[in-house]
Amino acid sequence: MISAKEIAAKLGVSPSAVSIAMNNKPGISEETRQLILQTASELGYVHKQRKTNIGSLIHLFVSSSFTSTVPFDNNMFLDKVIQGISLEAQQMNYTLRVTYISFKDLTAEKIISTLDTNTSGIILLPTAGEMVSPDIMKSLKIPFVTLDKAVEMYGLDSITIANAQGIGLAVEYLYSLGHTNIAHIGGEQEFSNFAERIQGFINAVSLHPEMAASAKNVFIMNRSNMNMLDYSEILNQIFNQLENSENGMPTAFICATDWYGVSCIQTLAARGYQVPKDISVIGFDNIAISEITLPRLTTVNVPKERLGAMAVDRLDDIINGRAKERTKISILTNLIVRDSTGPARKR
């Protein structure tokens, strides 16, 4: 039996063009489409239709250790991820259902009682970085993917952010601007994304001998000591410590989230510093707040919609038997330079 690849070779077109023609999708001219279809018919090619997902349901569970809903400072990030999940699910003819659930209630029994009979797969999004018990997921006997949380040690499929790579981009950019004394404002290390960003910072500054002292400038924002988005108290404590340290106040800060970055700018301004004239600030995530703060925040961009779409793609592969192995996929980041960064100040 002739293959799609052989048809492509015979006509001098790409195999993807043959696939587009067979699935009646846009992307090629009508003339090319008709030529492919006619040739396929003459050669007796039988196109295997991809399994339809109409009537199938993907259930997204969003868990949080703080409340039964999503922490306020995570909404901007999460909305974009869910948008990516929703659009990709729609294109693949899945119905999407979203359930917000507190981490303490995340049990196999709770999940099973929430599922519909036509649920084909589950996406699990731990918003606060919690480790969901692999025993819970394995007991469900249903395809699932974890999103924004790596669980490769348990052999579970996951779609994650390349956190260390993103922090590395920020460090290298600051180094190119002449910054050698920089600091990282990180999140709690029990959350893997924050832990990876901290380690990424340490690894990146260690590549440059002039930045060796910066490896000690890692500070943790403890949520239990903060009221929602008012991080000024703990930031002032950090700045007091740095101003009285041997190396003095850093010329730049890399923050683990955009909210940390915005608060860093505001707190520095209240202390009389100008950003970026005196001190540069970089955030992480590229949520909407980064574009409207003054000055606009330079940030590590996470392709949030694509992150969500990739989870659907991977889950669809598992559901339809195309996944032959467990996979961890890390989506790379890029740096968006705005107004909060500039050359290092001269001492």
pLDDT at residue number 71: 43
Q: Do 234 and 165 contact (CB within 8 A), yes or no?
A: no
pLDDT mean over 275-281: 98
Res. 322: pLDDT tops 50: yes
Largest CA distance in the chain: 81
Average pLDDT taken over every residue of the chain = 85
Token pair listed for 227: 């009221």
Please state, for a pLDDT cut of 70, what percent of the chain lies above it.
82
Q: Which residue has the tokens 């196999």?
A: 108
**Calpha distance 168→160 (Å, rounded):** 17
Residues 153-205 pLDDT 10s: 566 788 999 999 999 999 999 999 999 999 999 988 777 889 999 999 999 99
Q: CA-to-CA distance for 293 and 149, rounded, in angstroms?
A: 29
Q: In 177-246, where does DSSP find H-type helix?
A: 192-205, 232-243
Q: Which residue would you say has higher pLDDT here, 244 or 144?
A: 244
Q: Under a CB-based contact definition with an 8 Å cutoff, are residues 230 and 262 in contact?
A: no
The confidence band for 303, taking pLDDT boundaries of 50, 70 and 90, is very high
Beta bridge partners of 285: 301
* Residue 8 confidence (pLDDT) above 90: no
Q: Read off the pLDDT band of 152 (50, 70, 90).
A: low
56-161+304-332 CATH fold:
Rossmann fold (3.40.50)
- 163-302 has which fold? Rossmann fold (3.40.50)
Determine if the peptide bond prior to 295 is cis (ω within 30°).
Answer: yes
Mean pLDDT value of segment 245-253: 96
Q: What is the pLDDT of residue 288?
A: 92
The torsion angle over the Cα atoms of residues 163, 166, 185 and 228, rounded to 10 degrees, is -70
Residue 26 tokens, joined: 């846009």
Q: Where in the chain is the domain with CATH 3.40.50.2300?
A: 56-161+304-332, 163-302
